[in-house]
Structure 1
């Protein structure tokens, strides 16, 4: 008797367009669902060549739709790093969170071209990996990859390089942003960057988020984020 081998069903992979549609619905749902959060953030930056570092702790409050406020809890270390790195980051965050500016940097088809790379495990959750190529040379747009959660369709991770150097002095920046799942939403968890700066050489930056309170609209249907 000849036994035929069992047929293994190949997992159906959604098209890039299907993934983008799901991402869009999740993002729109999250923007409506998230009312407010309060997070303590710790910044640490170091320059290896000059053996300097600095630490900054801030309390950040976000309120829907575009209000982002941060106040300093503690600052220590290099004054140069605090003024030229930390202050610039806080200023840029306030600028980006405004409605019009945010639309210019969102990871959406209006700003990026997408390509399918594959499937990966993201801390025990299945993710689709997509390549992202900016449609404009702007310092807040990233050339690299994103990881999209296969269940929630939120962005889990962003890794790459700015499409445009932020300054003449910065030769290269590698950025890695991680997000954490909170009530079906994907909120910032950490940011790591390594910069190669003229004269100063390699510099590192780490930002860690610790959420103290997250307020959501509990009247909304969770399924609305995944069912277009």
Structure 2
């Protein structure tokens, strides 16, 4: 199978200068939290019970893997904007920055970022935000996607509940990585009971991304745009060994699906007998 090369394009509407000074452990910390895949709050569930779940965990995971593959193949291009924010409190002081970015995605492996405006710490703007965008683009490569895929090759799944919210029902799954791969995480995911898409995630990295960090907490929320579930908000908080706290927030806005095939769905998946995982071929 021929693999597509990732096209990395990061463009800015104005030039920025690299800061002449840096704090090593702070920079390492901020870079590390940016290497996680990316989303904030979600409506509180009204009930949680494994006994109420219509499907087994094996069926839920198989549906999730199949529909993720279906959506990935159908989505060819979209356009949107983002607001990146970082706040750091601790030694040697407080720093913050904000970046407004225009994003264009083109299947199979191109994301073009155009920086529209920036405020705050030059070090964060020049080093951290750019690293975040580059890491996200590199994650589009086929090899990276396989290593990070949400399937039974990479994770063990446990059904923890079936929740009802004002926006619909969802399966709550506990996910445990099979290896301490830096691309993986452990925690909880909510899977929409109709579309079999992850709508929310609360997790921590499977592997500590930096010596300077004590722990990192990640929260993600996704929104439905036409037939596709795309990131709505990412919130990551990292504690530092020497004291201090770094907080990264990404807000995703103004999505426009510019090229996509219709989602046909796989209606037989809900009731057929399946093996755990349903890994992609």
Shared topology, TM-score over 0.5? yes
Residue 209 of structure 1 aligns with which residue? 252
Which position in structure 1 is the counterpart of 2:145? 102
Shift of 1:123: 4.9
Query: Which residue among 232, 235, 238 is the counterpart of 1:189?
Result: 232
How far did residue 12 of structure 1 move?
A: 5.1
Distance 1:59 1:200, change over 3 A: farther
Cα distance 1:12–1:209, how it changes in 2: closer, same or farther (>3 A)?
closer
Measured against aligned partners, the alpha-carbon deviations of 1:135-174 in whole angstroms (never above 9, x if no partner) come to 1112221110110000000110111100111111122110
> SS of the residue aligned with 1:137?
coil
Corresponding residue for 2:34? none
Distance across 2 between alignment mates of 1:81 and 1:18: 43
Structure 1 residue 225, shift from structure 2 partner? 4.4
How far does residue 122 in structure 1 lie from its aligned partner after superposition?
Answer: 4.5
Q: Which runs of 5+ in 2 are unaligned?
A: 1-50, 270-281
Q: Is the 8 A contact 2:174 2:189 kept in 1?
A: yes
CA separation in 2, counterparts of 1:82 and 1:198?
24
The equivalent residue for 1:91 is 134
Question: Partners of 2:165 and 2:268 in 1: how far apart?
Answer: 22
Helix, strand or coil: the match of 1:164?
coil
Give the match's secondary structure for 2:180.
coil
Q: Secondary structure at the match of 1:101?
A: helix
Q: State the structure with bigger RCO (CA 8 A, min sep 6), 1 or 2.
A: 2
CA RMSD of aligned residues (A): 1.8
Do the aligned partners of residues 188 and 12 (structure 1) sit closer, same or farther apart at CA in structure 2, a change above 3 Å counting? closer
Structure 2 CA distance for aligned equivalents of residues 79 and 123 of structure 1:
42
- Normalised to the residue count of structure 2, the TM-score between the two structures is 0.72
| Bigger fraction of residues in strand | 1
Rate the CA distance shift 1:122–1:167 in 2: closer, same or farther, 3 A: farther
Structure 1: tracts of 5 or more residues without a match = 1-9
Q: Report the number of matched residues.
A: 217
Please report the TM-score for the alignment, with normalisation by the length of structure 1.
0.88
CA apart distance, 1:226: 4.4
